[in-house]
Homo-oligomer: A and B are copies of this chain.
Amino acid sequence: MSILPISIDAMGGDNAPAEIVKGAEAAAKELNVPVVLVGQAEAIGQTDLPIVEASEVIAMDDEPGSAVRNKKDSSLVIAAELVRDGRASAMVSAGNTGATMASALLRMGRIRGVARPAVATVLPVFGSTPTVLLDAGANSECTGPMMVQFAQMGSVFAQERFAIAAPRVGLLSIGEEASKGTPLVKETHNLLSAAPNIKFMGNVEGRDLLTDEIDVVVTDGFTGNVVLKTLEGSAKTLVGAIMGAMVSTPEAKEAAKTLLPVLAPIADEIDPETYGGAMLLGVNGVCIISHGSSSAKAIKNAIGIAAEMVEHELVDKLSKNISPAE
């Protein structure tokens, strides 16, 4: 690939730096994507990949705003600066989510005209393309015009990432009728009905998220984050209960062995690592926020997706499809 390297926050995440470095090495070797590691060379250890030294580390539980302000030489901040300075084409971090958003926003800036960046997450749909949910947590308070931009950015992302020609956009509410929901939802429903560059289908409900009825679901960052964590929690609980039952008797254990090959693809599809992480849409560069628990596999996938989005000129296409913010 003839793109600038992807800058990787080597120090961010529960399994950093070891798993991050392994994932970056796998991406470089298997996917042929150029990468640059950002972090403490000593902690990173032996690797063939280029390293940009960053002396500080933002911890997973640091307060995001002050961490980004005070730790100017942190791996996260430097990773974002490489993109800003044209030395990298995208950034990937499994570190502190709030600090990743703040670093990207403060160092790369916003795409011209974007009121607020949004976190777009990918929800699996069995037997179909995934559903893009946004905002999944960047903005706990939203306005209607902001959510129109989320719909437009989510549509571009669904097009470029999953090759969905005309993504169907739904607004998350508590009933299909335009009259249902909070005042913000009702206002946004009206704005989306008249918004350019999207195919608005109306309101959708929580039960539609994992179905092939919709491609992009728009909501405020509070509701979106609650929904995302609810989904993660319920999948974990249910899978845990099923796994537990499957080893509860010797007969069940034996039968479970036979079922493993048919159940494995399901586990794979709901595994967040498959999708590499969430995308911060609206900042002036490609930024992937990977799960804190990311393994090497998740990081490799994230880097692959970042490179693909750079090649698709995602940022340029986003900037051409948003309505002016009010």
Q: Known interface pairs A174-B137, A252-B258. Does A234 touch B237 (Cβ–Cβ under 8 Å)?
A: no
Q: Which of B174, B236, B254, B257 contacts A222 (CB 8 A)?
A: B174
The contact sample of 18 A-B pairs, CB cut-off 8 A, is: A182-B222, A205-B226, A206-B225, A207-B236, A211-B237, A219-B226, A223-B223, A230-B231, A231-B234, A238-B239, A238-B266, A241-B266, A245-B259, A246-B259, A249-B262, A252-B258, A255-B257, A259-B259
Return the CB mask of A228-268 against B: 1 if under 8 Å, else 0. 11111111111111100110110110111111001101100
Of A181, A183, A237, A251, the most chain B CB neighbours within 10 A belong to A237
Interface class of chain A by DSSP: helix
Cβ contact within 8 Å between B259 and A222: no
Question: How many residues of chain A have a CB within 8 Å of chain B?
Answer: 58
Q: Which of B208, B237, B249 contacts A126 (CB 8 A)?
A: B237
Cβ contact within 8 Å between B238 and A235: yes
Cβ contact within 8 Å between A210 and B222: no
Q: Is A227 close to B, CB under 8 A?
A: yes
Q: Which of B141, B173, B254, B255 contacts A182 (CB 8 A)?
A: B141
Complex alpha-carbon distance, A130 and B245, angstroms:
19
Return the CB mask of A9-37 against B: 1 if under 8 Å, else 0. 00000000000000000000000000000
Q: Is A270 close to B, CB under 8 A?
A: yes
Q: Is A140 close to B, CB under 8 A?
A: yes
Q: Is A209 close to B, CB under 8 A?
A: yes
